[in-house]
Structure 1
Amino acid sequence: MIEAVWIAFAFGLGLLFKQVGLPPLIGYLGAGFALSLLGERVGVGPDDSYILTHIAHLGVLLLLFTVGLKLKVKNLVRPEVVGGSLLHFGLSTALFLPAFLYLLDLPLGEASLLAMALSFSSTVLAAKVLEGKRELRAFHGRVAIGVLIMQDLIALVAISIASGKSPSSWALMVLILPLCKPILYKLLDLSGHEELMVLLGLLLALVVGGAGFETLGLSSELGALAFGAMLAGHKRAGELSQSLWSLKEIFLVGFFLQIGLGGLPDQHALIFALVMTLLLPLKSALFFALFVGFKLRARSAFLSSLTLTNYSEFGLIMASLVLPQWLVPLALTVAFSFVISAPLNRIVHSIYEHIAPLLTRFERDIRHPDEQPITLDDAQILIMGLGRTGRAAYDNLSEKGYRVIALDSDPVAVETSLQAGRRALFADAEDPVFWQNLDMPNIHSVILAMNDAEAKTITVHNLRGRGFDGLIVSHAMYEDIARRIIQAGADHTYLTMSEAGTGLAEHVARSIQERSRLLSDGQSEIRPPGRPPQPDAQA
């Protein structure tokens, strides 16, 4: 059974790469190349890739749909996103084009398409890496994803033009999609919290968005992204994204396997891929220069640039349609770029700390509006994180008369809290420059309510490192994480589930005491409001 072979190879090599500290997705790529090499000896025939191609396509659609769930259109219409993506596309294509024309002796049309294919960065890898580090909504994550979406749109236009296909006359129907948002919101409300919600996500991503846009002569990827973005403002968008997580991850394994199964490279393809991999620093440097030019600080520019330092799966899509002779060299190039980019993005914060003195020299004197220094004024208690725990702590302490302020790296969470009347500011707790510029003269207590354990330990280190001797309290899901936060310098760490159980027990104890008090006062029966007295069973 061919599916068993795929799963066995993907799991085996994925686990192997995970054990040596590399992302499992590199193992999935290796599994694809291994299956391509072994071929029929392990039961993989030339006709078996059709199913995997379909699975891979579903994985990409689900990924783009979940990315759309975390985005707002207004985050795309920003100078650093629009300008950065367009300028990088133009400059990158212009740099590659002469080399392909004269060194590879390619025709102008073929050289232009190949240069375009290599100017894009991988949405799949970048979104997966950012999601894994929970930085998809951080400022540098939003910049990177915004640029990737712009690149995807450019790629889709380029593919449409190069393939000679044009949208149908019904394609203008997509202009009325914003009018459907109330219907989509209602469907999400009615779907509940279980399998119906998952089915709704699949329906919108794969059927309405994917197949629907293809019927109109448009890209299915664009359709999945568009329907995800339309639901981004719904309060349950995050829950829908989480419910699709496992399905998306499984289907994306098929995507990485498919890249490897595209074929084994010859010597020329290998040389081409190695040369293009050596040029990755040029791609990163160009992004960094453009982002700094758009007023981003060096840290944000560097983090966004390194996220984009890879080659794109859209280059493979373009090759499969209009450059079939380049499919294998481009597949190997994309694979090599993933091998380089994924590990680097795991340690990107450490890399920046070592080279920050060099990079900060390129910063402009004018700062981006989202990266201005933060002053906490008269606030007494600082809450880091505006999820359910952070909001509950804020509201409770405010009711007790404390002056509270909250910080979060998610602009949507900040905006929602501001609308609810809370004092909230945008900030990335993992940004060392943020801590250097933070003014908190009256803060005597800090509550860490972020989800990410590493962000909590980094926050504690930064607080203690800048001389803060006040109270630091955190919550944690597991005991080992709680110990790490305490070792970093926190005063108290509470286990979330244990505290929930303790709180529930206290509510029960108070209810028992209240019932006992009323019985002692002479009331013969205590009933919930609205429940009629029960007839005597013996009567």
Structure 2
Amino acid sequence: MAVVSGIILNKLKIPAIIGYIVTGTLTAYIFGFRVEDSVDLNEAAELGIVFLMFMIGLDFSFKKITQMKQEVLLFGGLQIGISIAVFYAICHYLIGFNLDTSIILASAVSLSSTAIVLKSLNETNQTKTPYGMAAVGILVFQDIAVIPILLMIKLLSNQDLSMSEMLLSTGVSAVIVLLLLMLPGRFLARIVLRSSAKMKTDEIFVGTVFLIVLGSAYLSKYFGFSLSLGAFLAGMLVSNSPFKHQVASVLVYFRDLLLGVFFITIGMQVDAIFLAKYFIVVLLLVALMLLIKTLIMFAFLSLLRKAKVAMRIALSLSQIGEFSFAIFLLASQHKILNLGLDGGILNGIFGSEFVASITPNEIYQFLTLMVIFSMIATPFILDRLDLCVKFALKIFRIPLKIAKIGSKVGLNQKSQTEHSYEVVICGYGALGKKVLEFFSGCDVTTLVVDSNYERVEEGIKKGCNIVYGNITDKMIFREIGIQKTKVVILCVESPLAIEKACRHIMDISHLVRVIAQTDEETIEADLRGIGLYAVINGSREIAEILANSALEAIKESKEMGINREEENQ
């Protein structure tokens, strides 16, 4: 059902996430199946978040934070801090939730959707623009903030221990997890990845990656933390290794598939009758929430970026993210998400009878539907972002050309963090080494990709910029950012690998100039048909060189013979 709805929605240019959610809702009503009926389905859905956090960890490092310290620390910190404060005030004083519930709800609402926004930024190649960098920086900070939020839920849930005892217990457990994962875990992860890579068997490598991700996740869970925390740390372990890009290319399909299951389980929680009854109210609440989040972010971003860029960032991150469901679920499991209303301003406006008539299940449905509808609205906003920005600035009567403090800093940081390669060399065999040796005397940035780990190790020892990766897998080219590369040189022997790699590259971008070599004329014709920049037939080139050398030798021999005849005469 999800596949069929995904195909139909794709034809209509409607985001697939809507198809997953609709599939979940229909499944619940047609087959009478509810997500709470299946522990296995809940765990499978949670794995989607686990793999998402692992992929985020792959792109995370302290070096990256120092390069994007303004976007991550300043923008992210302000967004989380101000958003939690504003939504806490709304939840506690306006709506009437108790202290613990207000903190949890405010924390959940302050988060944005990493899955949707990052996918859009990658597809439109805007991750390195001032707008994209700021959005990514805030998302990175939010993803890191999920960890203390989940720890906070654990602290609030244990009423038997005092706060000091709980902090001490949590701190000791955190140190143990960090020591296990960061010290032996780093070396063990690299050893098992190196061993599986040397076996040259794809299924062994995939199994090894799964072992690292799930092993780290469940180790974290064993010590009382979330699966996501362990997966995030595991991603950090692999992020600085030559396996990073190949690991990411292997897991991306599993991540997307399991995230699809996650969104299906979200759809199963929707009460269609409730939605039909309160559809207008839900839309109004979603619109109000989007407006508040947009204004919060625009208020401080406009002081540090141009108005147009600030509004783009604010609109892009105005939704509630997928981690909010995980926060709601964990808080519910620990029985600290009390959705009973204590009064607040609503009590004074509508009366105690109206407030008492709102059940916790109805409040949970409102929260769930607000998250879902905000996520559904996001792809439409991102697809029409320029129009939305222009409309919003016009409504608020904000000039487009106002350059605020820090806008030039953002532009300068773009050039510092831009990380692309002019030439990518596929294969580090005898030919690849000769090609790379030629470029060593040129002012050209290069990256080498090879699936033979012995050669990768050799390249690393020689100081080459080389990564482990299988060029027959399309995702490896996406992971290394092939669309930003000027030239790709294929220095591999397998005709099948050459043809697959060429098709993958051309599918991603027709602007990349691909140069390949082959000895087979049929393969040469196929490669030229794909539209490569140049195809070198090695046998023909060598034959031509040999024949020309022979002709020169014959010519020299004849000249020497004439000279000898003249001497004899």
Partner Cα separation in structure 2 for residue 67 and residue 247 of structure 1:
14
Match of 1:119 in 2: 110
Match of 1:150 in 2: 144
Distance 1:234 1:304, change over 3 A: farther
1:377-396 counterparts in 2 under 5 A? 385-386=421-422, 388=424
Give the one of 97, 100, 112 matched to 1:109: 100
TM-score, structure 2 normalization: 0.65
Match of 2:83 in 1: 92
Match of 2:321 in 1: 312
1:377-416 counterparts in 2 under 5 A? 385-386=421-422, 388=424, 399=439
How much does 1:87 deviate?
A: 2.7
Render the CA deviation track for 1:439-497: whole Å, top value 9, x for unaligned: xxxxxxxxxx96349x99xxxxxxxxxxxxxxxxxx99448964xx6xxxxxx966888
Render the CA deviation track for 1:92-151: whole Å, top value 9, x for unaligned: 233233433454333343333322321222233334434444555662453133222233
Q: Is the contact made by 1:191 and 1:200 (CA closer than 8 Å) also made in structure 2?
A: yes
Distance 1:386 1:133, change over 3 A: same
How much does 1:311 deviate?
A: 0.5
Match of 2:299 in 1: 289
1:147-186 counterparts in 2 under 5 A? 147-164=141-158, 169-176=172-179, 177-180=181-184, 181-186=186-191
Render the CA deviation track for 1:294-318: whole Å, top value 9, x for unaligned: x445565444433322102332223
Give the one of 329, 341, 348 matched to 2:385: 348
How much does 1:349 deviate?
A: 5.7
One-letter amino acid matched to 1:116: S
Partner Cα separation in structure 2 for residue 56 and residue 186 of structure 1:
30
Distance 1:197 1:21, change over 3 A: same
How much does 1:498 deviate?
A: 2.6
Q: Is the contact made by 2:100 and 2:156 (CA closer than 8 Å) also made in structure 1?
A: no
Match of 2:475 in 1: none
Render the CA deviation track for 1:35-89: whole Å, top value 9, x for unaligned: 233342xxx3566443321111111111111121122133336243223333323
TM-score, structure 1 normalization: 0.68
Q: Is the contact made by 1:307 and 1:345 (CA closer than 8 Å) also made in structure 2?
A: yes
Render the CA deviation track for 1:181-219: whole Å, top value 9, x for unaligned: 23322322222261222112211222x221110001111
One-letter amino acid matched to 1:171: A
How much does 1:367 deviate?
A: 2.7
How much does 1:404 deviate?
A: 5.8
Match of 2:492 in 1: none
Distance 1:144 1:306, change over 3 A: farther
One-letter amino acid matched to 1:188: L
Give the one of 524, 527, 540 matched to 1:498: 527
Render the CA deviation track for 1:358-403: whole Å, top value 9, x for unaligned: 444152266326636979xxxxxxx9754626999xx889859876
Partner Cα separation in structure 1 for residue 464 and residue 251 of structure 2:
32
Cα RMSD after superposing both structures: 4.5
1:239-250 counterparts in 2 under 5 A? 239-250=246-257
> How high is the sequence identity, in percent, across the aligned residues?
20
Q: Is the contact made by 1:60 and 1:124 (CA closer than 8 Å) also made in structure 2?
A: no
How much does 1:253 deviate?
A: 0.9
Does residue 398 of structure 2 align to residue 361 of structure 1? no
How much does 1:509 deviate?
A: 2.0
For 2:178, what is the secondary structure of its paired residue? helix
How much does 1:337 deviate?
A: 0.6
Partner Cα separation in structure 2 for residue 502 and residue 312 of structure 1:
43
Distance 1:232 1:85, change over 3 A: same
- Bigger RCO of structures 1 and 2 (CA < 8 A, at least 6 apart): 2
- Alignment gaps of 5+ in structure 1: 1-7, 376-382, 407-418, 423-448, 457-474, 486-491, 523-539
Q: Is the contact made by 2:423 and 2:444 (CA closer than 8 Å) also made in structure 1?
A: no
Does residue 86 of structure 2 align to residue 50 of structure 1? no
One-letter amino acid matched to 1:336: F
How much does 1:248 deviate?
A: 1.4
Partner Cα separation in structure 2 for residue 513 and residue 372 of structure 1:
50
Give the one of 198, 209, 219 matched to 2:206: 198
Match of 2:482 in 1: 451
Partner Cα separation in structure 1 for residue 127 and residue 364 of structure 2:
30
Q: Is the contact made by 1:273 and 1:330 (CA closer than 8 Å) also made in structure 2?
A: no
Render the CA deviation track for 1:489-519: whole Å, top value 9, x for unaligned: xxx9668883698966522223445677899
Q: Which moved more, 1:210-219 or 1:30-39?
A: 30-39
Partner Cα separation in structure 1 for residue 463 and residue 313 of structure 2:
31
- Alignment gaps of 5+ in structure 2: 160-165, 340-359, 447-461, 466-479, 487-502, 517-525, 554-569
How much does 1:157 deviate?
A: 2.8
Give the one of 277, 280, 285 matched to 2:287: 277
Partner Cα separation in structure 1 for residue 422 and residue 82 of structure 2:
40
Partner Cα separation in structure 2 for residue 123 and residue 38 of structure 1:
31
For 2:95, what is the secondary structure of its paired residue? coil
Q: Which has the larger radius of gyration?
A: 2
Distance 1:92 1:34, change over 3 A: same
For 2:239, what is the secondary structure of its paired residue? coil
